Amino acid sequence: MRNFPRRHLTLIAALSIIFVVLLLTDPSTNTDSQLENGRQIELALPIETHISSGEQDLPSAEQATMPSLPPKLVIVVKPGDNLSTLFARHQLPAGDLQRVLQTENADMLATVKPGQSIEIQKNLEGRVLELVYQANPKTKLISKLLASGYVTEIEHVEPDMVINAFEGNITRENSSLYHAGLAAGLTDNLIMQLADLFQWDISFALDLREGDVFTVIVARSSIAGEPIGEDRILAAAFTNFGKRHIALRYVDTNQRPGYYNEIGESLRKAFLRDPVHFSHVSSSFNLRRKHPIHKRTMPHRGIDYAANRGTPVRAAGEGKIIKAERNDASGNFVVIQHGDRYTTKYLHLSRFAKAIKPGVRVSQSQTIGYVGATGWATGPHLHYEFLVDGVHRNPRTVRLPDSKPVPAQELEAFRETTQPLLAALENANERTLMLVQNF
């Protein structure tokens, strides 16, 4: 009988390697010592992936004399597929599938998703000899036909983790967070995370200034050198217009992760400052404005965010929909009640999001509709109103209530766990990144 290669992935701690990478993306303009486009420090973890393939290296005598097996089938799961339809399509024995599914550890096979693939090795009689399913980058399922029947094993691979520090600044050439982030070496995903972190404190579309600087401490995960899409910001500092904002990741005793400032206040507010990703503010809050269509003084009790038609409009805070209807002036509009004191209104929507109707509860950031130009509107925009105790307030300047801080009884633990992050933000170097790593 043929021996099947068994791969053992072993993680072996090795000597630490420290890289300090100076990323100067435009060397021609960097003859002086100034950091024009960003700096990246990388700390490689003291972990090395070692793959020992055992029998695979030494083919047995049997194996060498056996006729070769049919080529391996790689089956890609399409929408609507399940294992039965896949087996039928490839003329694989339904009985083998039943036997595989009855093995211990086979539950995961119920979760195959479109786009994933399953590898199948048949034997010369057409039976399933081995089935391999990569459930996610960290988890692989392997069912094998042994003399005793099928056996299923789950292989877990611990990703390698690397702590990186990125430093960047807003310049004339890189005037947006996106471009400054790219220049500093951040991925699109990390730039989004950074923007989300500070969305309550900084409007990245309106408030950025030349000279703003940021530092981001990131845990990056990879397997065999391939990123697995789990890069996570551990800490960030953003100095905007001279004011330094800090975000520290902390997982509380209920295992809920959150981002807090250095004294344990949540960065998250009960309300988003801007409920839509917009290109610019086309009309500000102004109680003595001349109306663009009616040419007479009409207060503008909200703010107009110009954005592309179809851009998702998000609930500014958790609450209950009290209106989702249409009239001549407002077009399609939504009103949300947040507790006793706060109400928000969203006008001129092209349409409502699915299931948005009066009585429905929504969470913060949930999409409630899409930007449009219904009602009295000269172009696609969101008209947004924020009312406190029934009085219209300027959504861009009103003081927003905070979310819950770190509980008092956890402050000690919070200070202890975030101390290395603060040190790394203060001065990102091999030593401080190593402290973050070893925490």
Residues that bind Zn ion (CB under 5 A): 304, 383
Give me the count of residues in the chain: 439
Spatial distance between the Cα atoms of 229 and 171, rounded to a whole number of angstroms: 29
Do 157 and 9 meet the contact criterion of CB atoms below 8 Å apart? yes
Cβ-Cβ contacts under 8 Å for 212 (sequence gap 6 or more): 169, 170, 238, 239, 240, 241
Q: Give min distance, CB of 300 to Zn ion, in A.
A: 6
Measured from the CB atom, the residue of 82 and 397 that comes closer to Zn ion is: 397
Measured from the CB atom, the residue of 273 and 383 that comes closer to Zn ion is: 383
Measured from the CB atom, the residue of 394 and 403 that comes closer to Zn ion is: 394
Measured from the CB atom, the residue of 171 and 284 that comes closer to Zn ion is: 284
Spatial distance between the Cα atoms of 144 and 137, rounded to a whole number of angstroms: 21
Q: Give min distance, CB of 194 to Zn ion, in A.
A: 30
Closest residue (Cβ) to Zn ion? 383
- E-strand stretches of 193-330: 213-223, 226-227, 232-240, 243-251, 257-260, 280-283, 303-306, 312-314, 319-327
Q: Give min distance, CB of 374 to Zn ion, in A.
A: 13
Q: Give min distance, CB of 202 to Zn ion, in A.
A: 24
Q: Give min distance, CB of 294 to Zn ion, in A.
A: 12
Spatial distance between the Cα atoms of 338 and 276, rounded to a whole number of angstroms: 18
The pair of structure tokens assigned to 107 is 């539950």
Q: Which amino acid is at 187?
A: T
Cβ-Cβ contacts under 8 Å for 56 (sequence gap 6 or more): 5, 6, 7
Cβ-Cβ contacts under 8 Å for 438 (sequence gap 6 or more): none
Measured from the CB atom, the residue of 383 and 392 that comes closer to Zn ion is: 383
Measured from the CB atom, the residue of 291 and 357 that comes closer to Zn ion is: 291
Do 196 and 364 meet the contact criterion of CB atoms below 8 Å apart? no
The pair of structure tokens assigned to 202 is 């900084």
Q: Give min distance, CB of 394 to Zn ion, in A.
A: 13
**Sign of the four-CA dihedral 107, 111, 116, 117:** positive
Q: Give min distance, CB of 304 to Zn ion, in A.
A: 4
Measured from the CB atom, the residue of 338 and 381 that comes closer to Zn ion is: 381
Q: Give min distance, CB of 414 to Zn ion, in A.
A: 42
Do 434 and 41 meet the contact criterion of CB atoms below 8 Å apart? no
Do 344 and 275 meet the contact criterion of CB atoms below 8 Å apart? yes
Which run of H or of E encompasses 155? strand 149-156
Measured from the CB atom, the residue of 300 and 314 that comes closer to Zn ion is: 300
Q: Give min distance, CB of 362 to Zn ion, in A.
A: 22
Measured from the CB atom, the residue of 167 and 385 that comes closer to Zn ion is: 385
